[in-house]
Amino acid sequence: MTGGAAGVRATARIAARSDGRGGTALPTLEGEGPLALRRTRGSGAEARVMLVGAMSGPLGGDHFTVEAAAAEGAALHIGSAAATIALPGQAKGEARYDVRLTVAAGAELRWLPEQLISANGSDLYVTTHVDLVPGARLVLREEQVLGRAHEEPGRLTSRLTVRLRGRPFLDQELCCGPGASGGWDGPAVLAGHRAVGQLLVVRPEFAEALPSPQLLGECAALTPLAGPGVLVTALAPNALRLRRTLDEALRTLDGRV
Amino acid sequence: MSRAALLVLADGRFPAGGHAHSGGAEAAVKAGRITGAKSLEEFCRGRLHTTGLVSASLAAAAALGLDPVALDEAADARTPSVALRVAARKLGRQLMRAARATWPSAELDALAREFPKGAHQPVVLGVAARAAGLGAVDAAYCSAYESVGGPATATVRLLSLDPFEATGVLARLAPDLDRVADRAGEVARCAVEEGVDVLPAVSAPLLEISAEAHAAWPVRLFAS
C-alpha cells in the first residue's frame, strides 16, 4: 500500500481452487491497507471471503483494486462487512475502485458485496471487469446508493464489463450525480430513484434454456441476455427496498422459493 | 461526400419503419413520467446521453468501416433488455431494405447476408451512411437525432402534444446533439485503433426496465 498526498493505492488479491477433497482452498488471500480480507465459514464446498473495510474510503485520489480468480472446481463467495462509502478527500481528483474477476470452467464465483454509497462531494469511478469462459458460473450483484440519507449524491460512474471467451457479453455504464450528462435523473434514466442495482447470473445450463423476461414489480425486470446469462435491473427509493428486490430475484433463480 | 445524402438518410420519411417505435416514450407516458413538453425534453435528454450516445458511437464506428459483426456483438452486450434487442434488429432489418434499394453497396449486401434476421439498427445505419458516401460524424448525427426524434414524434400522438412544442424540444436539444455526435465521432476513431471495447456503454435503467414491461402489454400503439 502506498499513501500520501496523491491518495491511497491498495490491492487485494484472492485466488481459489479446488482442495481435492470436495472443498475450496484459498492459495492467495492478500489484503492491503483499507482492503482487509477475512476467510469466514462457508457452506458446503464453498469458501467464503469477507472484504473488511479497515479504513474509510475510497476518498478522492485513492485507487483501490480487488482481484479474484476462481480456478476449476472452486466455489468462491465474496462479500463485504459493510457498505463502501465514497467520500470527498483531501487530494483532488476522482477516486478509483477496480474489480477484476476471473472464473474458470467448472468454477463458481459469487460476488455479493454490500452497497456502494456515493456521498455528497465525492467523485468515484468504479470499473468491474469479469472474464468468463464457457462452463463458468457467476452471481454478481452491484448496488449503488446515491447519497446518504437526505443528502445529494456525489459523482459516480460505474462500468461493468463482462467477457465470455474473450468476447463482449455485457457492457453497462451508469453515470450520475453532479457533472454527469444531462437527463441522468430524468424520466428515461433514474427518475428520482436513489438506489439502483443489477444482479447478473451466468450459468452453463442457460445456454440450453434461458429464463423468460419477467417484471419484478414496477421498477425492476429480469431479462435474458444474448448469451447464457440473465440480468436483473432494479431501481428503488432506497437501499433496503432495492436489496429486497434483488434478494427475491436471486432466491427465485436459485430455486429456493 | 454529399450533404444532401445526410438529409435523405435523416429524414423521418425515409422508409425505414422508425415511426412504429416510440423509443420508450409510450411506456413513460403510461407511467406518468412524460406529461408534457418539459418532461419530454428531460426524457429525450436522458435518452440522448445514454443509449443515444451508444447508438451514435456504434453508427459512427460502422461508418468508419469497423467490422460490423464485432459492432453487432458490442451492441448486444450494451442492450441487456431482450425486448430492446428484438426492436433494434427489427429496425435494422427494415433500414437494410430501404438502404439497399437507395444506395446499393456490396458492404450492405454482405451485412444483410451475415444477419438475415437483422443486425442492430445503428450498425446498419453506419454501413448505410458509408454506402451513401457519408462520414462517421454524419452517421452519429443521424443516429443521435433519431434517438430524440422518435420519442418526440410519438409523444405528439400519445399525449396530443402540440407539434410546435415537440419541435421546440428538439431545437432546445440541438447543443446536446452536437456534443453527442462529436463525442461519438471521436470515440469511433479511437475504436479503429483500440477496438470496439472503448465505445461508450452508458445505460438508462428505466428504459431497460420499462421496455420489458411495454413488450408485455396486450395492446399498444407502438412496437417499442
Rounded to 5 degrees, φ, ψ at A122 are -80, 165
* Contact (Cβ atoms closer than 8 angstroms) between residue A175 and residue A159: no
> Which run of H or of E encompasses A129?
strand A123-132
pLDDT, one tens digit per residue, over B95-130 is 999 999 999 999 999 999 999 999 999 999 999 999
Looking at residue B1, what is its pLDDT? 64
pLDDT, one tens digit per residue, over B177-214 is 999 999 999 999 999 999 999 999 999 999 999 999 99
Which DSSP symbol is given to B82? Answer: H
- Taking the Cβ of residue A189 and every Cβ of chain B, the question of whether any pair is shorter than 8 Å is answered with yes
Candidates B58, B78, B82, B177: best to mutate against A (most CBs of A within 10 A) is B82
Which whole number is the average pLDDT over A116-138?
Answer: 96
Q: What are the sequence ranges of the domains in chain A?
A: 9-253
Q: How many CB atoms lie within 10 A of CB B176?
A: 20
pLDDT band at A55 (very low <50, low <70, confident <90, very high): low
Quick one: CA dihedral B193, A158, A127, A71, positive or negative? negative
Looking at residue A11, what is its pLDDT? 96
DSSP of B97-121: HHHHHHS--HHHHHHHHH-TT---H
Looking at residue B195, what is its pLDDT? 96
Which whole number is the average pLDDT over B85-90?
Answer: 97
Place of cell 414524434: B153
Mean pLDDT of chain A, nearest integer: 94
Looking at residue A41, what is its pLDDT? 87
Cross-chain Cβ contact B43/A161 below 8 Å: no
- Identity of the residue in A173, A186, A191 whose CB atom sits nearest the CB atom of B201: A173
pLDDT band at B146 (very low <50, low <70, confident <90, very high): very high
Strands A229-236 and A116-118: unpaired
Mean pLDDT of chain B, nearest integer: 96
Cross-chain Cβ contact B206/A215 below 8 Å: no
Give the C-alpha separation, B31 to B46, whole Å: 16
Candidates A132, A199, A233, A235: best to mutate against B (most CBs of B within 10 A) is A233
A231: chain B residues, CB-CB within 8 Å: 80
A224: chain B residues, CB-CB within 8 Å: 82
A161: chain B residues, CB-CB within 8 Å: 197, 201
ipTM here: 0.96
- Identity of the residue in A169, A189, A218 whose CB atom sits nearest the CB atom of B205: A189
Per-residue pLDDT at B168 exceeds 80 = yes
Looking at residue A4, what is its pLDDT? 57
pLDDT band at A58 (very low <50, low <70, confident <90, very high): confident
SS3 content of chain A, % helix, strand, coil (to 5): 5, 50, 40
B31: chain A residues, CB-CB within 8 Å: 218
pLDDT band at A44 (very low <50, low <70, confident <90, very high): confident
Looking at residue A60, what is its pLDDT? 87
Cross-chain Cβ contact A233/B209 below 8 Å: yes
Task: Name residues whose C-beta falls within 8 Å of residue B122's C-beta, 6 or more positions apart in sequence.
Answer: B54, B55, B56, B58, B59, B62, B75, B88, B143
- Taking the Cβ of residue A182 and every Cβ of chain B, the question of whether any pair is shorter than 8 Å is answered with yes
Per-residue pLDDT at A54 exceeds 70 = no
pLDDT band at B3 (very low <50, low <70, confident <90, very high): confident
Domain B3-215, second-level architecture: Orthogonal Bundle (1.10)
Cross-chain Cβ contact B205/A161 below 8 Å: no
Rounded to 5 degrees, φ, ψ at A27 are -60, -25
- Taking the Cβ of residue A168 and every Cβ of chain B, the question of whether any pair is shorter than 8 Å is answered with yes
pLDDT, one tens digit per residue, over A70-126 is 999 999 999 999 999 999 887 778 899 999 999 999 999 999 999 999 999 999 999
pLDDT band at A257 (very low <50, low <70, confident <90, very high): low
Cross-chain Cβ contact B77/A190 below 8 Å: no
Candidates B203, B217, B224: best to mutate against A (most CBs of A within 10 A) is B203
Give the C-alpha separation, A26 to A18, whole Å: 9
Looking at residue A204, what is its pLDDT? 96
> Which run of H or of E encompasses A97?
strand A95-103
Looking at residue B180, what is its pLDDT? 98
Rounded to a whole number of angstroms, the distance from the CA of A173 to the nearest CA of chain B is 4
* Contact (Cβ atoms closer than 8 angstroms) between residue B91 and residue B16: yes
